[in-house]
Structure 1
Amino acid sequence: MAALAGLVMAASAAAEPPARLLSFDELDGWAADDHDAALSVFVKTCDILKDPDWAPICEVARNQSGGRAFFELFFRPVQVGDEPALFTGYFEPELSGSLTRTARYRYPLYSRPKDMPKGQPFATRAEIEAGLLAGRGLEIVWVDDPVERFFLQIQGSGRVRLPDGQVVRVGYGGNNGHPYRSVGKEMVRRGIYAAHQVSAQVIKNWVRRNPVEGLKLLHHNPSFVFFRKVTAVPADKGPIGAMNRSVTPERTIAVDPAFTPLGAPVWIEKGGSDPIRRLTIAQDTGSAIKGPQRADIFYGTGDAAGRAAGKIKDPGRMVVLLPIQRAFALATEE
């Protein structure tokens, strides 16, 4: 048994990604960034960090005016993992809707049924959209586009603008217990598009051009997301992230908390047609965000943000800024 335990520990250690200590001079574009903007976003969630390594830093951050000096004094850059990073983008959709069903607004956003069994799958997307929950008073709001509703469920939160201009914000309220299946991959499998051609906008356009087959395609994903009405966040603020605070466009990223601590500053060097060199804050998570070099950049709310986010699938590098003692304990200099 002792030998087996040793093998298990060795295998676990081998699975840990390498962590390398860097200097700030090694961060491409570091000196040119707006560190004060990053500091203001860091402070938004810093009070949540109760760990002894973070708490004293957060006390200083609340009364700090010089962002660059603050980060360089209290942190050290650590690159976790050797593989190239993968950057994608996400956003908060804004849909058109109504509090009552009309001929135009006839696709409901449902709250989670209270009698839904725990620990086992509920009805599929196809069954729910066929009217299984109709008439039970679970409708939060009605929207005018089933395709946008589908992508709202993928994003997990969003806003619905009513005819009178008021906004209803909705957040993730649970799901039906079925696994998520990618309709983009299914389109590739069917030979509709090649993998490099598929994007959210391409899927939306195809479904709208092929309404009958399109809705069947959406039903390939049996997962269905329920919502809750969010009233604590003003309409002009970003949606709530994993740290229960509003996220900030182009300064908040979603990460894998198994490798990147929530609340930590993260320097990103994104390649592609629109390169980014920026200090961001890890304030969100996502089911598809896995690994030490994986991040989803929040682009904001609405159609323009959605178009920008949908274009992002780029390589690069992520470097997390850790409190000095923790950085030296985790990393070794190359």
Structure 2
Amino acid sequence: MPETEAASRLAAQARLEALSFKDLDAWANDDHAAAFKAFLRSCRALDASAAELRPAQAPERHLVAVCREALKNENLSRPEARRFFETHFQPFAVIPHSGNGFLTGYYEPEFQGSRTPDSRFKVPLLVRPDDLVTIAPGETLPGIDKGLQAARRTAKGYEPYPDRAAIEDGALGSLAKPVVYLREPAEAFIIHVQGSSRIRLTDGWVMRVAYAGRNGRPYTSIGRVLVQRGEMDLETMTLEKLMGWLMSNPGPAKELMRQNQSYIFFREADELAPEDGPIGGAGFPLVPGRSLAVDRSLWAYGLPFWLEGELPFTLERSEPLRRLMIAQDTGSAIVGPARGDFFFGSGEEAGTRAGLLRHTTRFVVLRPKAQP
């Protein structure tokens, strides 16, 4: 999206208040070298894409210039990394016109699965269909409402893509090609929400699946629906409790999950090493504790964000969150100027912590200074 269009969208939703780094609580205590390493991942991608993309798609020019400076000094100590951010960026508090900043968490789950269906494994994750067209932020297609982010290409033109219920009922026909089969619909749903997974196959091999597209329909939080119905209490809800409810109530769970019209398609990510995080929206492996999902229609990938809030360990115990993170992913539920998703990593413990994080948080964006 052109920078001017993103700026006008942002201005309609929030104001930016210029700060100094002294205004950031505990700024000096963070591990800036760790943040800088995550930033370098974005920089390599931005530097490579700047020469390849059309001008309308090109990344923010000032950010690319800062990245090229960063790539000249890849091994910085913590004090050096801190000076780099302070030299090349200006912090701005993101103040929404309505509401407050809000942070949730996500992770890469692991489930059992099979490449072929059988009596145990019969719930598919689907590959991206050939007729799916993703609509970029700010782009429009004839016959498609502005609120939709994908369309179906037909011989007569474009039409809205089927929603979750229609896809599950067979609307894609022969285009519904599975990449892997799981045991439970609830497991597949969680992978749809998280956008990636490790699948432990019946032969012991661990398969990685990554986001490959979505049907562009709006996202609905089924956890919020359960709270509104009085089935669960928001303060004590965890991912484990949600999964337990879905698996214990298969009939109502099917109806509930279909209230989320959004549907995700996947690919096998065989390029990933076991130690790599999942692929984020920016196109490279995410970094636990440093990668942040943001609203891609408002913010450029690669922008650093300083977060001030709480980071829970359990329902009863948390620690202050004072951390520099890098915008490297997005998600259908991540909408708004001060809305983020904190990537915790892979596995059960990461999932537990991710499910606990739904806290009001202060967002400060570090905007690149114009380079000489």
TM-score by length of 2: 0.76
Deviations 1:263-309 (A, max 9, x none): 01111112363321111111111222222222111011122111110
2:110 to 83, 91, 94: 94
The 8 Å contact of residues 88 and 296 in structure 1, kept in 2 or not, is answered as: yes
Q: CA deviation at 1:183?
A: 2.2
Determine helix, strand or coil for the equivalent of 2:319: coil
Moved more, 53-62 or 142-151: 53-62
Partner of 1:59: 68
**Structure 2 stretches lacking a partner, 5+ long:** 1-7, 51-59, 133-151, 312-317
The separation in 2 between residues aligned to 1:85 and 1:287, in whole angstroms, is 17
2:344 to 294, 299, 308: 299
Instruction: Write out aligned runs for 1:16-95 (5 A).
Output: 17-47=14-44, 48=46, 50=50, 51-64=60-73, 65=76, 66-81=80-95, 84-95=100-111
The 8 Å contact of residues 306 and 364 in structure 2, kept in 1 or not, is answered as: yes
Q: CA deviation at 1:248?
A: 0.4
The alignment of Structure 1 onto Structure 2 pairs a total of residues equal to 316
Q: CA deviation at 1:75?
A: 1.6
Instruction: Write out aligned runs for 1:179-190 (5 A).
Output: 179-190=218-229
The verdict on how the C-alpha distance between 1:131 and 1:323 changes in structure 2, with shifts beyond 3 A counting, is: closer
Which is higher, the Rg of structure 1 or of structure 2?
A: 1
The verdict on how the C-alpha distance between 1:321 and 1:181 changes in structure 2, with shifts beyond 3 A counting, is: closer
1:238 aligns with 2:254: no
The verdict on how the C-alpha distance between 1:23 and 1:122 changes in structure 2, with shifts beyond 3 A counting, is: closer
**Structure 1 stretches lacking a partner, 5+ long:** 1-10, 327-334
Letter in 2 for 1:59: R
The separation in 1 between residues aligned to 2:64 and 2:215, in whole angstroms, is 38
The 8 Å contact of residues 248 and 300 in structure 1, kept in 2 or not, is answered as: yes
The separation in 2 between residues aligned to 1:244 and 1:270, in whole angstroms, is 28
The separation in 1 between residues aligned to 2:275 and 2:236, in whole angstroms, is 34
The verdict on how the C-alpha distance between 1:218 and 1:268 changes in structure 2, with shifts beyond 3 A counting, is: same
The separation in 1 between residues aligned to 2:305 and 2:11, in whole angstroms, is 25
TM-score by length of 1: 0.83
The separation in 2 between residues aligned to 1:76 and 1:14, in whole angstroms, is 18
The separation in 1 between residues aligned to 2:213 and 2:112, in whole angstroms, is 22
The 8 Å contact of residues 78 and 321 in structure 1, kept in 2 or not, is answered as: yes
Determine helix, strand or coil for the equivalent of 1:202: helix
The separation in 1 between residues aligned to 2:112 and 2:173, in whole angstroms, is 20
Q: CA deviation at 1:90?
A: 0.9
Once superposed, which parts of structure 1, at least 4 consecutive aligned residues long, lie more than 4 Å away? 11-14, 121-124, 130-137, 194-199
Deviations 1:118-163 (A, max 9, x none): 3434555345445676887812111122211111112222221213
Instruction: Write out aligned runs for 1:213-228 (5 A).
Output: 213-228=252-267
1:114 to 120, 125, 130: 130
1:260 aligns with 2:269: no
The separation in 2 between residues aligned to 1:12 and 1:243, in whole angstroms, is 21
Identity %: 40
The verdict on how the C-alpha distance between 1:59 and 1:303 changes in structure 2, with shifts beyond 3 A counting, is: same
